[in-house]
Chains A and B, each alone.
Chain A
């Protein structure tokens, strides 16, 4: 009911001229309560609820074409690119479209900051950088064969259609095969990765699903739930309590319900976020600010009560701030701390030591020490949608906590709102001669790879040499490294809780509330005025004492008179 209520367009109030508003309010609120009661009664009587329509629940394979009947897809297929060639026989423009998407380029020039971003260029505090580690990282590239910087980005047959359009759930990319699936059953970390039947997968292609997107986006950073905090495998089959929109028994949204794709380009960007939608509901034919909440819920999503404070907060608070009270809520933890400086320990068998606690790895000789957390309270930052990164070659201050990225915006910035973030913290190597971040060459069969020789000096030297060669940095490695603490912010937009679990006013409007760290603006309930308090309590105490003494004096004087 509340969901439906929230999306109902509001009737304009013709009488609400600016000067009349303040006087109209008390009556409007009484009328609002009455109207609300009437709507509630109507809604219940009509059995209207937040039920998914049949359309929303439609089989993702529903289509006017049955791909299993296509001669071109009968197979057998020797490789992924062979399947793509068959796809392109009909879908002539598909690969060209994918070539333009960030899923393919891993490159993004932020028009607001001018920074050249994307996985090709940024440095994070998970596995650092893709440079020199391509074959491992590109198991999540929407292509085949990106094993070094010589990858052909113009090759159409190297586009991987299946990774997004598989409906069998059997298609996998092998973790270390530069985006290729295993063509025979192959062992990885002691487990057999089954080779998919490419013909079967090709014949059953369909729309994208939470699973296809999730294969990469739920496992970013090297495993389930590691990276984002609001994205993990619990969203493959989410209950209403975990995400009201993806609720498998309710609205059953897929990722692309909000992240709409046109010509294989999706809406929504982590590098340039629509932090404040001022367009409102995405009316067909008009400007569309998907995937923001307001593009369905509008700019006045709450019912008016005795006041309109909730809607008035829309100005300064992202919807997510109250409606994602915690992240990693699906019963699966997310990584919150990664200390690379502790890496290198080996077990008695000579292999990298691995320690597990509560089913998650808390130490890995290859990667260092981890902390994981579930049901985590976000941290809050002002955010106008722009994220500024500390890129390779930029000077850092290794004595402080290095912000690998940071949000732009502040309390006086009309474009900025308070957003919730997962803040990933950790310790990672840097070039202590130049005070810059480094690329760690982790993966590879060569001796310099950290995961072969466990020698940071060699790994960083190899990583930085390659980074300079491919143009990721101009600065040559000084030859000296040390470790520094870093942090990285990840805006939260998923795992939207049911309305009754949203933050209450007092969660922020209190002295030690969630906004305690955000300064530079007055917030009722959080901020006090110690000077006024001090003067007032002195006066109150003096008055009380004065009154008590006066009363006591009268009492004693009266007793004396009687006596």
Chain B
């Protein structure tokens, strides 16, 4: 018995898709500055990159506030309970059409593997990008300080670069898993757009 359940609020969907646009813009302009393509003049790419970065910082501040006040931050608490079955499911069960070993509910929207991936993104990749990015942006404010004598600008740049590559890796996995592994295959993607997904009635279990 499946029910159409609202999984994602308007704010979450706005946050997700705005962030998507900003992140793709940041990747495009950032790797443009790095010299991977010539779509923008360096200064133009940097101006866009900075504007997008400030927008994303603003969005994140709202999102953090929302998660804290609504308690939704708990959705990202990693758990070992059910992790192995989930990993096994994606490694083999998914091919033989087994049922998913987890149930999505509005109170637990993410499976254990998702939780791990998202918390990794939020606690490792994103902070590495923000901290190194802000250091790059404000280099002239700290180069004359003790910090400037301790770390070199190049190191900061390489952290930013490595984290940006890490972001690409995350995105490949994230897009594949969440946009193609629903039932039907696009169900999660649709849920992220409409907010609703047909899920099994937890009461029925």
Contact across chains for B43 and A506 when beta carbons are under 8 A apart: yes
For the complex, give the distance between the alpha carbons of A551 and B172 in Å.
Answer: 13
Q: How far is the CA of A127 from the CA of B34 in the complex (A)?
A: 46
Q: How far is the CA of A26 from the CA of B136 in the complex (A)?
A: 15
How far is A281 from B157 in the complex, measured between Cα atoms in Å?
35
Give A550 to B173 CA distance when docked, in angstroms: 11
By a CB distance below 8 angstroms, the chain B residues around A306 are 47, 50-51, 54
Does A558 count as interface, using CB distance less than 8 angstroms? Answer: yes
Using CB atoms, name the residue of chain A closest to B140. A312
Across the interface, A540 reaches (CB within 8 A) one of B96, B137, B168, B180, namely B168
CB of B94 within 8 A of CB of A511, answer no
- For chain B, the count of residues having a C-beta within 8 Å of the partner chain is 37
B98 to chain A, nearest CB (A): 11
Flag whether B64 is at the interface (Cβ < 8 A).
no
Residues of chain B with a CB closer than 8 A to A315's CB: 140
How close is A512's CB to chain B, nearest CB, in angstroms? 10
Q: Which residue of B41, B46, B141, B162 contacts A309 across the interface (Cβ within 8 Å)?
A: B46
A540 to B171, CA, bound (A): 10
Closest A-chain residue to B165, C-beta based?
A: A536
Q: What residues of A have a CB within 8 angstroms of the CB of B157 in the complex?
A: 522, 524, 527, 529
Contact check: which of A307, A509, A551 meets B50 at CB < 8 Å? A307
- Judged by a CB distance under 8 angstroms, whether A532 is at the interface is yes
Query: Taking each of A308, A504, A536, which has the highest tally of chain B beta carbons within 10 Å of its own beta carbon?
Result: A536
- Measured CB to CB, the nearest residue on chain B to A305 is B47
Which of the listed residues A22, A524, A525, A550 has the most CB atoms from chain B within 10 Å of its own CB?
Answer: A524
* B46–A554 CB distance below 8 A: no
What CA separation (Å) do A529 and B180 show in the bound complex? 34
Q: Does A360 contact B (CB under 8 A)?
A: no
Least distance between B83 CB and chain A CB atoms (Å): 19
- Interface residue range, chain A: 35 or more
User: Does B99 sit within 8 A of A, measured CB to CB?
Assistant: no
**A35 interface residue, CB < 8 Å from B?**
no
Contact residues, B6-59 vs A (CB, 8 A):
33-35, 41-43, 46-47, 50-51, 54
Check: B158 CB closer than 8 A to any chain A CB. Answer: yes
**Distance (Å) between the CB of B74 and the closest chain A CB?**
29
A4 within 8 A of partner (CB): no
Residues of B contacting A269 in the complex (Cβ-Cβ under 8 angstroms): none
Complex Cα distance, B86 from A437, in Å, reads: 80
Write out the residue numbers on chain A whose beta carbons fall within 8 Å of the beta carbon of B158.
529, 532
- The main secondary structure of chain A at its interface with chain B is helix
A553 touches B141 (CB 8 A): no
B95 contact set on A, CB distance < 8 A:
553-554, 557
Q: How far is the CB of B62 from chain A (nearest CB, A)?
A: 14
Is there a chain A Cβ closer than 8 Å to B134's Cβ?
A: yes
CB atoms of A543 and B165 under 8 A apart: no
The residues of A that contact B34 with a CB separation of less than 8 Å are: 525, 528
Query: Given contacts A307-B50, A539-B165, A554-B95, are A547 and B154 in contact (CB under 8 A)?
Result: no
The answer to whether residues A525 and B42 also contact, given A315-B140, A532-B158, A532-B162 and a CB cut-off of 8 A, is: yes
A532→B134 CA distance, assembly (Å): 21
Check A558–B97 contact: CB distance below 8 A.
yes
A22/B165 in contact, CB under 8 A: no
A543 touches B173 (CB 8 A): yes
For B173, list chain A residues within 8 Å (CB). Answer: 543, 547
B161 proximal to A (CB < 8 A)? yes
Cross-chain contact B51 with A554 (CB below 8 angstroms): no
| Residue in contact with A524 in the complex, picked from B33, B41, B90, B96, CB distance below 8 Å | B33
Contact status B165-A550, CB under 8 Å:
no
Nearest residue (CB) in B for A526 is B35
Nearest A-chain residue to B94, judged by Cβ: A554
Task: Please provide the chain B residues from 51 to 79 with a CB less than 8 Å away from any CB of chain A in the complex.
Answer: 51, 54
| A544 CB-CB contact with B under 8 Å | yes
In residues 167-203 of chain B, which contact A (Cβ within 8 Å)? Answer: 168-169, 172-173, 176, 180
Whether A543 lies near B161 (C-beta < 8 A) is no
A505 within 8 A of B: yes
B35 & A504 in contact (Cβ 8 Å cutoff) = no
Chain B residues near A511: list those with CB within 8 A.
35
A341 on the B face (CB < 8 A): no
User: Does A470 interact with chain B (Cβ within 8 Å)?
Assistant: no
Contact B54 A26 (CB under 8 A): yes
Chain A residues, CB < 8 A from B54: 26, 306
In the bound complex, how far is the Cα of B173 from the Cα of A309, in angstroms? 36
- Contacts A532-B162, A554-B94 given; indicate if A505 touches B169 (C-beta within 8 A): no
Answer yes or no: A91 CB below 8 A from chain B CBs. Answer: no
Docked complex Cα distance between A526 and B153 (Å): 14
Could you give 24 example pairs across A and B, Cβ below 8 Å? Answer: A18-B141, A21-B141, A26-B54, A306-B47, A306-B50, A306-B54, A312-B139, A505-B46, A506-B41, A506-B42, A509-B33, A509-B43, A510-B35, A522-B152, A522-B153, A524-B33, A525-B42, A536-B169, A539-B165, A543-B172, A550-B90, A550-B176, A553-B95, A561-B97
A residues sitting closer than 8 Å to B (CB atoms) are 18, 21-22, 26, 305-309, 312, 315, 504-506, 509-511, 522, 524-529, 532, 536, 539-540, 543-544, 547, 550-551, 553-554, 557-558, 561
Beyond contacts A529-B158, A547-B173: 18 other A-B pairs, Cβ-Cβ < 8 A, are A21-B141, A22-B134, A22-B141, A26-B54, A306-B47, A307-B50, A312-B140, A504-B42, A506-B41, A522-B152, A522-B157, A532-B162, A536-B165, A536-B169, A540-B172, A550-B90, A551-B176, A557-B97
